[in-house]
């Protein structure tokens, strides 16, 4: 990788949504947020403060009010980041803010309306449009993955069984940093394919309704795009650059009193607030500059964003605000977090020739398949010339590097046809030869049939090899080829002009912010007084200004303390709710679970410090461990366990037992109608007790065992003994 250690601060932009109908009807007219688009400032008014209290002002890289368009935000703030990703840098875009402030709308927008598409669909269009307009000597490989962090578990949204499987685990390597193990990655060759991947993941994402948002995101979603580019360098060798783009849609912070969540929604809100609190602690530690420890491991979210915050990445943070007066505290908290994030310094660098580049593996596989095709082509051409009887002389010219698939297939078909014709002629000659014996004819015909079979196998292998070659080559996108039909030179010029305007606007905003700071410093230097009265007035004015700043600082300290008290109260309330639920579960365990089962579960528990959670030990230890579960002894071949002599006898009687390999005898109730046998007059005279027996049955029923065959009643002696026993019992 490149050794360039130049630092770059996190770019922070703020966007404010318009008032909703519910907020307009419930609250007072007007909002509490004002924005100066020219200077990039956000002015916040406290609705509970007296009019004399000064308003709070925050300055950011760019601000967008409720009338701003999706395209303006993308062109001015996001497009330079996507260009950096295509150049080989790592990039991250994430939206942060209170629930219901428009984070998902900013990131995704309305897919069917081109004017309201968010950052993600515009990024898709940007990436594939750039590939289609690049030079023909460049090759690209685009991969996409989609995951969510739900209840502090990482779930693969592209896995159809993600709801039934365990959460994925985080790993860290020196080359790529933090990554998710066994995460599904899809190769995408067009905008339509990557949009389909996005739609599949969105259908599996956790979404719920709260009092503040009908479609509230209950998890943090991360859409990962990897763009690998191969380009010849000055040394003539192909160099690979890998850019990784993280598109993050965070779940919003929630207050239980406002959202009204309960049960599972309360657990989700607790986990969301916990991860966002950990993110705020990481931002504070990085912005402070004096902290020796940054708590990245406090949550899965901060682990995944480790490179994006203070690492190898270029980062854009979009802070979303709500203008309603009842959300003043949450809006102020979001602005403070965003203001601190401006001070984070990243060290982005180009990822050049990494070891894990999948594009290099694809190119090696394509080269190997091409070599095999060339070899088969050479062999087919050689055999074809031998059949024609022509002397083949190998020329000194090198074969072309690229072999056309149509030519290879045509030559292979011609070779197969010629071989089949030759073998058919030989078979006819053998059949017509009168001097050969029948055995020799059969032997020669068998050899020819074998050669025909080998020929067909070689043809099938060549077809499979050609199909694999085409499939591998189709996954690579070559610059200069049209991906979308509407891409033309006029659109390219239009986008270039639009980008120049956005860059010019950004520079003007930065220059105006610098001029304001310089003017304040220059006024103090240029001050000259002609009289003492004028000096007193200037000093008094300056004193009032400093006193106003002092009051603002005191109000800021008071707001921070109040916010801390509110956060503590909310955490205590959430803790009480969780404690009550925990006591309820303890009550169930103590009254309904046997102590020995409870002890078994407790003995299997173990704490994983890396994942920061409790886990169960496996029932069957690893083979590498010395203590292994003993295998069950086997007394007979084919049986799962030892069987008794009775079971062997029962099996030898030819019955179809369900429990053939176990020591269990099945005794089923005889639910069929009784089998009766009518007694003759002679048998009735021989058994006088039959008429005295108090029953209305006209026959006798005998039950049969599961291992006995049914037998009919043929003797009257059994009847006599049965009636005698019944009489004795009575």
Write the pLDDT tens digit of every residue in 580-604.
989 999 999 889 989 888 888 888 8
Write the pLDDT tens digit of every residue in 129-140.
888 888 778 889
CA gap 684, 673 in Å, rounded: 24
- Return the DSSP state at 212: S
Phi, psi at 161, each rounded to 5° = -105, 30
Q: Which of 356, 389, 413 is the last residue of a domain?
A: 356
pLDDT of residue 402: 43
CA gap 612, 40 in Å, rounded: 41
Contact 5, 347 (CB under 8 A): yes
Mean pLDDT score of the chain, rounded to an integer?
75
Let me know if residue 340 belongs to a domain.
yes
SS3 assignment, position 33: strand
pLDDT band per the 50, 70, 90 thresholds, residue 694: very low
Taking CA atoms, 548 is separated from 524, 525, 535, 562, 620, in Å, by: 18, 21, 20, 21, 70
Which stretches does DSSP call E strand in 17-55? 33-36, 41-44
pTM, full prediction:
0.63
pLDDT band per the 50, 70, 90 thresholds, residue 509: confident
In the block, which residue shows the tokens 């009847």?
719
Let me know if residue 379 belongs to a domain.
no
Let me know if residue 225 belongs to a domain.
yes
Let me know if residue 15 belongs to a domain.
yes
Write the pLDDT tens digit of every residue in 603-634.
888 888 766 678 888 876 655 444 555 555 55
Domain hosting 552: range is 532-595
pLDDT of residue 687: 46
Let me know if residue 416 belongs to a domain.
no
Let me know if residue 440 belongs to a domain.
no
In the block, which residue shows the tokens 């402030």?
101
Q: Is the predicted pLDDT of residue 106 greater than 60, yes or no?
A: yes
Annotated binding site: 97-104
Q: Which helix (H) or strand (E) holds 216?
A: strand 216-217
**CATH number, domain containing residue 314:** 3.40.850.10
Write the pLDDT tens digit of every residue in 7-62.
889 999 999 998 888 887 776 666 899 998 888 899 998 888 888 777 888 999 99
SS3 assignment, position 34: strand
**Sign of the dihedral through C-alpha 532, 535, 540, 543:** negative
Domain count within the chain: 2
**Strand-pair partners of 155:** 148
Distance of CA 21 to the CA centre of its chain: 35
Distance of CA 148 to the CA centre of its chain: 6
State the burial class of residue 117 (Cβ atoms within 10 Å of its Cβ: 0-12, 13-18, 19+).
buried
- Collect all residues with Cβ–Cβ distance below 8 Å to 273 and sequence separation of at least 6: 253, 254, 570, 574
Q: Where are the alpha helices (DSSP H) in 593-680?
A: 595-604, 645-652
In this structure, what token pair is assigned to residue 463? Answer: 């077809």
Let me know if residue 308 belongs to a domain.
yes
Distance of CA 178 to the CA centre of its chain: 15
Contact 167, 153 (CB under 8 A): yes
Let me know if residue 501 belongs to a domain.
no
Specify the higher pLDDT residue, 579 or 618. 579
pLDDT mean over 346-374: 71
Specify the higher pLDDT residue, 533 or 376. 533
- Return the DSSP state at 64: E
Q: Which of 328, 356, 384 is the last residue of a domain?
A: 356
Q: Which of 595, 622, 644 is the last residue of a domain?
A: 595
Distance of CA 126 to the CA centre of its chain: 22
Q: Is the predicted pLDDT of residue 648 greater than 70, yes or no?
A: yes
Annotated binding site for ATP: 97-104
């Amino acid at each position: 990788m490149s050794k360039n250690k130049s630092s770059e601060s996190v770019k922070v932009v703020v966007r404010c949504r318009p008032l909703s109908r519910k907020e307009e009807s419930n609250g007072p007219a007007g909002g509490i947020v004002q924005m100066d688009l020219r200077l990039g400032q956000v002015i916040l008014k406290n609705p509970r403060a007296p009019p004399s209290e000064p308003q709070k002002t925050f300055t950011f890289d760019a601000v967008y009010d409720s009338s701003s368009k999706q395209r303006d935000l993308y062109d001015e703030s996001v497009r330079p980041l996507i260009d950096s990703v295509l150049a080989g840098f790592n990039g991250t875009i994430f939206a942060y803010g209170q629930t219901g402030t428009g984070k998902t709308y900013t990131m995704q927008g309305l897919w069917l309306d081109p004017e309201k598409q968010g950052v993600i669909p515009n990024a898709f269009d940007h990436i594939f449009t750039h590939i289609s307009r690049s030079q023909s000597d460049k090759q690209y490989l685009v991969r996409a993955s989609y995951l969510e962090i739900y209840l502090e578990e990482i779930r693969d949204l592209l896995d159809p069984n993600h709801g039934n499987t365990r959460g994925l685990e985080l790993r860290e390597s020196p080359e790529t940093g933090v990554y998710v193990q066994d995460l599904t990655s899809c190769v995408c060759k067009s905008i339509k394919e990557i949009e389909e991947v996005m739609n599949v993941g969105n259908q599996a994402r956790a979404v719920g309704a709260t009092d503040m948002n009908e479609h509230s995101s209950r998890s943090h979603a991360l859409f990962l795009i990897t763009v690998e580019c191969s380009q010849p360098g000055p040394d003539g060798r192909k160099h690979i650059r890998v850019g990784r783009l993280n598109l993050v849609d965070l779940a919003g912070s929630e207050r239980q009193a406002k959202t009204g969540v309960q049960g599972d929604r309360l657990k989700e809100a607790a986990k969301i607030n916990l991860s966002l609190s950990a993110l705020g602690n990481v931002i504070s530690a990085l912005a402070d500059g004096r902290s020796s420890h940054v708590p990245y491991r406090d949550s899965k979210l901060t682990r995944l964003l480790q490179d994006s915050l203070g690492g190898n990445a270029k980062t854009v943070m979009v802070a979303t605000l709500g203008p309603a007066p009842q959300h003043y505290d949450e809006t102020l908290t979001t602005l403070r977090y965003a203001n601190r994030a401006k001070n984070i310094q990243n060290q982005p660098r180009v990822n050049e020739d990494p070891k894990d580049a999948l594009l290099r593996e694809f190119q090696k596989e394509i080269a190997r398949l091409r070599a095999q095709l060339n070899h088969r082509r050479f062999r087919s051409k050689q055999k074809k010339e031998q059949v024609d009887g022509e002397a083949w002389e190998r020329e000194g010219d090198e074969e072309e590097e690229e072999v056309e698939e149509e030519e290879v297939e045509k030559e292979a078909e011609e070779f197969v046809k010629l071989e089949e014709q030759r073998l058919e002629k030989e078979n006819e000659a053998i059949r017509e030869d009168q001097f050969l014996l029948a055995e020799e004819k059969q032997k020669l015909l068998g050899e020819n049939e074998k050669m025909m079979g080998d020929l067909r196998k070689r043809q099938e292998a060549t077809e499979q090899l050609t199909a694999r070659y085409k499939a591998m080559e189709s996954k690579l996108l070559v610059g200069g080829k049209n991906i979308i039909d509407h891409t033309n030179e006029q659109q390219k010029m239009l986008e270039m002009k639009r980008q120049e305007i956005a860059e010019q606007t950004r520079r003007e905003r930065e220059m105006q912010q610098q001029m304001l700071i310089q003017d304040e410093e220059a006024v103090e230097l240029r001050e000259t007084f002609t009289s003492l009265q004028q000096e007193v007035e200037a000093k008094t004015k300056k004193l009032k200004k400093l006193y106003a700043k002092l009051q603002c600082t005191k109000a800021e300290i008071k707001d921070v303390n109040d916010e801390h008290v509110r956060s503590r109260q909310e955490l205590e309330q959430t803790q009480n709710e969780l404690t009550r639920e925990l006591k309820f579960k303890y009550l169930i365990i103590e009254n309904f679970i046997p102590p020995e089962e409870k002890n078994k579960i407790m003995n299997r528990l173990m704490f994983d410090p890396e994942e920061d959670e409790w886990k169960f030990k496996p029932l069957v230890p690893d083979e590498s461990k010395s203590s292994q579960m003993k295998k069950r002894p086997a007394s007979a071949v084919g049986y799962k366990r030892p069987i008794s002599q009775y079971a062997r006898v029962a099996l030898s009687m030819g019955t179809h037992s369900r429990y053939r390999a176990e020591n269990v005898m099945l005794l089923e109730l005889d639910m069929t109608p009784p089998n009766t046998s009518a007694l003759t007059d002679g048998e009735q005279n021989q058994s006088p007790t039959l008429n005295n027996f108090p029953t209305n049955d006209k026959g006798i029923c005998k039950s049969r065992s599961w291992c006995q065959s049914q037998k009919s009643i043929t003797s009257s002696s059994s009847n006599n003994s049965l009636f005698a026993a019944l009489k004795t019992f009575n």
